[in-house]
Amino acid sequence: MASFCSLTLILISIFAFSISIANSKTLKRDVKALNEIKASLGWRVVYAWIGDDPCGDGDLPPWSGVTCSTQGDYRVVTELEVYAVSIVGPFPIAVTNLLDLTRLDLHNNKLTGPIPPQIGRLRRLRMLNLRWNKLQDVLPPEIGELKRLTHLSLSFNNFKGEIPRELANLPELRYLYLQENRFTGRVPAELGTLQNLRHLDVGNNHLVGTIRELIRIEGGFPVLRNLYFNNNYLTGGIPAQLANLTNLEILYLSYNKMSGAIPTALAHIPKLTYLYLDHNQFSGRIPDAFYKHPFLKEL
């Protein structure tokens, strides 16, 4: 009998919650923003976005790729995922009015132009994926205001200029993908202060400098597992201090202009699994310690 009463209470609660969601109104700010985005993205998306309310209205479901949550008496847009539909045109600035977004995924489209500085308004954003577009210009420093960001993927675009130091202001950042762009200058050593950064890929750019400059901050990159620096213009040697990155599993330095001897210290990185040093100007012998490494699969 007690279990039956408990089940009845659960069903009543679920029903009441469903009624509250159905009766909730979508915040006008988000409705306006999504309709502006709808107008700017063109027919490829519009055919799946029916009705005036992106969170659904009556018998109409939420728009495809739009996720909403209830906050008090209102519904707000928390996720926007519109990818691989050949969207053409500039980055839709109206996106930056969706202040409750936690996830923004517009990858594999044909977006052009810069990322607007208003991107810094999305303070709740945790994942930003804009890879495989035709975005260009410099990265706005306002990206450094997205304090909750854990995943940032801007690879396979046409970004240029220097990688902004403001990225070091993202304390939760774990994955940073900047490969296949036109970045120049040096990778900011300040990125080493990111206590949660696990993956850093800046391959296939026009970057210069040395590994020594990158790791000059003591205790930097404490949990970094994967470092991709291939196909750039790095010079200098591999400093023995690189072995202080004890969590490294993948180190990819191929196709640079590096020189000098390969330090034995690298062979003492305990979890090193893949080490790529080809197409540089290294000299001397490969230390015997590499052949005895318990996890190294490819050298």
The pLDDT of residue 94 is 96
> Region 13-40: what's the mean pLDDT?
72
> Region 226-244: what's the mean pLDDT?
98
pLDDT tens, residue by residue, 37-84: 988 876 666 677 888 899 998 888 999 999 999 999 999 999 999 998
Return the structure tokens found at 216: 């000059």
The pLDDT of residue 21 is 42
- What's the CA gap between 136 and 115, in Å, rounded? 8
- What's the CA gap between 91 and 98, in Å, rounded? 14
Assess whether pLDDT exceeds 80 at residue 24: no
The pLDDT of residue 43 is 60
User: Whole-number mean pLDDT of the chain?
Assistant: 91
Q: Which domains can be identified in the chain, with CATH numbers?
A: 71-292 (3.80.10.10)
Higher-pLDDT residue of 146 and 10 is 146
The pLDDT of residue 109 is 93
Asked if 280 and 256 count as a contact pair (C-beta separation under 8 A), the reply is: yes
The pLDDT of residue 18 is 41
pLDDT tens, residue by residue, 175-219: 999 999 999 999 999 999 999 999 999 999 999 999 999 999 999
Cβ partners under 8 Å of residue 218, min gap 6: none
Torsion angles phi and psi, residue 177, rounded to 5:
-115, 110
- 60 DSSP 8-state letter: B
The pLDDT of residue 22 is 47
> Region 251-258: what's the mean pLDDT?
98
Q: Measured at the alpha carbon of residue 145, what is the angle toward residues 144 and 150, in degrees to the nearest 5?
A: 70
Assess whether pLDDT exceeds 70 at residue 246: yes
- Radius of gyration of the chain measured on its C-alpha atoms: 24
- What's the CA gap between 225 and 259, in Å, rounded? 24
Which amino acid belongs to residue 160? K
> Region 101-123: what's the mean pLDDT?
97
The pLDDT of residue 181 is 98
Q: Classify 104 as helix, strand or coil.
A: strand
The pLDDT of residue 48 is 77
